[in-house]
Amino acid sequence: MNILVTGGAGFIGSNFVRHLLTASDDTIVNLDLLTYAGNLENLAGCEDDPRYRFVRGDIKDRALVRRVMNDFRISAVVHFAAESHVDRSVEGPEAFVATNVMGTEILLEEARRAQVERFVMVSTDEVYGSLGDKGAFTETTPLAPNSPYAASKAAADLLCRAFHRTFGFPVLITRCSNNYGPYQFPEKLIPLMIANALEDRPLPVYGDGQNVRDWLHVSDHCRAVDLVLRSGVPGEVYNIGGCNEKRNLDLVQLLVDELGKSRDLITFVPDRPGHDRRYAIDAGKISRELGWRPTVTFAAGMADTVKWYLDHQDWLQQVRSGRYREYYDRMYGAGGRHEPEEGRS
Ligand code: NAD
Ligand code: TYD
């Protein structure tokens, strides 16, 4: 297949490109705008592979998307490109609607025009909203997104559904829980905590730290997306998750211990507005129907991830020294929304 991967310079996209280059003989075109989150260093070494091509561009650029579909005779699309960080969507939802909704619509139209045979929409469990203490999201759980990020992903996800229902376009939707692993941008919980701990800086835990996320190693997510691409049934939705729920505070403590740092670095900061309390995925369908199971245990995955960040501190420094720094200061610096409060730690 000639596969168009969008957002292939981001965290999951770059892991997916690497996965395809080793696990398949497909040709891969990576279309990525290189926003603050896109980093070609994530793909160092891939450039030399004749099966890999990079195109810098915007999924909202219809003429470019059309050209890419035609020039590279694209037969399948795996769509990762997105604005992906909830806190940024609280600060400014517009870019989320533009990229995640409008961009997805343009991709769908152009992929349909090019008679693409498979289109995988990489969605998220956040479209389902928040859970109470019990239960897990299934594919039939009603969509109830709470953040602008989640709402924009739900809109894109529903456009995909509509393209299948209306036009019979072969879209497959995956909804995955929180990923962790190498190359994750240090605005997300795990790499942010590792980066701060390495510099003995405060570790900002939102609210009471009792929010729960269901963590999955990125390599297991990549295998699942690949499986859905090749064996999934068009029009179907597949939940992907690790059955691996952790409270934020417990996770941060575990990271601190793993790094041999002091738990005194943990600092409670004002909560994220509209903060979803708990996510948990029922991945029974993909397991039953496609035979997927996570293979990386949380203990092994976390140990590997911490080691990766320790071994790649130059990567961390580089990422943290750019525009990300301004954003970081705006959120966590003096007067920022998550500026640490006096007296709580
Ligand atoms: P990321 O922010 O690390 O990467 C996003 C990539 O998309 C970047 O390389 C960026 O440059 C690119 N991009 C952004 N806007 C673009 C545009 N207009 N045109 C072309 N490229 C553009 O995100 P991630 O964490 O790797 O997530 C990838 C996908 O997986 C997203 O769709 C996200 O919603 C979904 N997802 C993520 C998680 C998670 O835990 N990270 C979980 C479930 C689903
Ligand atoms: P995040 O990595 O942003 O993923 P998502 O919001 O998409 O689940 O956050 C994971 C959890 O960690 C979420 O409950 C918010 C919390 N969190 C903090 O407590 N402190 C932080 O600095 C960040 C970035 C997140």
In tens digits, the chain (345 residues) has pLDDT values of 999 999 999 999 999 999 999 999 999 999 999 999 999 889 989 988 999 999 999 999 999 999 999 999 999 999 999 999 999 999 999 999 999 999 999 999 999 999 999 999 999 999 999 999 999 999 999 999 999 999 999 999 999 999 999 999 999 999 999 999 999 999 999 999 999 999 999 999 999 999 999 999 999 999 999 999 999 999 999 999 989 999 999 999 999 999 999 999 999 999 999 999 999 999 999 999 999 999 999 999 999 999 999 999 989 988 988 754 465 567 667 777 666 554 433
Question: Could you tell me the distance, in angstroms and rounded to a whole number, from the CA of residue 6 to the centre of ligand 1?
Answer: 9
For position 320, what pLDDT does the model report? 87
Residue of 11, 64, 78 to test ligand 1 pocket, by largest number of atoms within 8 Å of CB: 11
**Cα distances (angstroms) measured from residue 269 to each of 200, 266, 278, 343:** 17, 10, 19, 10
Question: Which residue carries 């002091």 as its tokens?
Answer: 262
Task: Please indicate, yes or no, if residue 207 is contained in any of the structural domains.
Answer: no
Asked if residue 28 belongs to a domain, the reply is yes
Sign of the CA dihedral with 157 first, then 162, 167, and 172 last: positive
Is 36 annotated as catalytic?
Answer: no
pLDDT for the residue numbered 333: 74
Alpha-carbon distance of 139 to 282, in angstroms, equals 8
For residue 14, the CA-to-ligand 1 centroid distance in Å is: 10
169 falls within a domain: yes
Known catalytic residue at 200 = no
| CATH (domain of 155) | 3.40.50.720
Residue with CA nearest ligand 1 atom 29: 80
Residue 264 forms part of a structural domain: no
Pocket test for ligand 2, best of 206, 210, 218 (most atoms within 8 A of CB): 206
Q: The domain containing residue 169 runs over which residues?
A: 2-179+218-243+279-295+326-332
pTM over 0.85: yes
Read off the DSSP letter of residue 231: H
> For ligand 1, which residues put their CB under 6 angstroms from it?
6-7, 9-13, 32-35, 37-38, 58-60, 80-84, 99, 103, 122, 124, 153, 176, 178-179, 185
Q: Are 107 and 65 in contact (CB under 8 A)?
A: yes
Check residue 345 and give its pLDDT.
Answer: 35
Catalytic residue among 83, 87, 126, 157: 126
Task: Report yes or no on 259 lying in a domain.
Answer: no
Tracing tokens 């168009």 back to the chain, one arrives at 4
Q: DSSP assignment, residue 303?
A: H
Pairing of strands 212-217, 245-247: antiparallel
Residue 315 is assigned to a structural domain of this protein: no
Two structure tokens written together for 7: 């957002």
Q: Would you say residue 120 lies in a domain?
A: yes
* Tokens matching residue 151: 């709402």
Number of domains in the chain: 1
Distance, CA 304 to ligand 1 centroid (Å)?
22
Active site residue 282: no
Nearest CA owner, ligand 1 atom 41: 179
Backbone angles phi, psi at 207, to 5 degrees: 60, -135
56 is a domain residue: yes
Alpha-carbon distance 128 to 143, whole Å?
Answer: 4
CA atoms of 113 and 310, how far apart (whole Å): 46
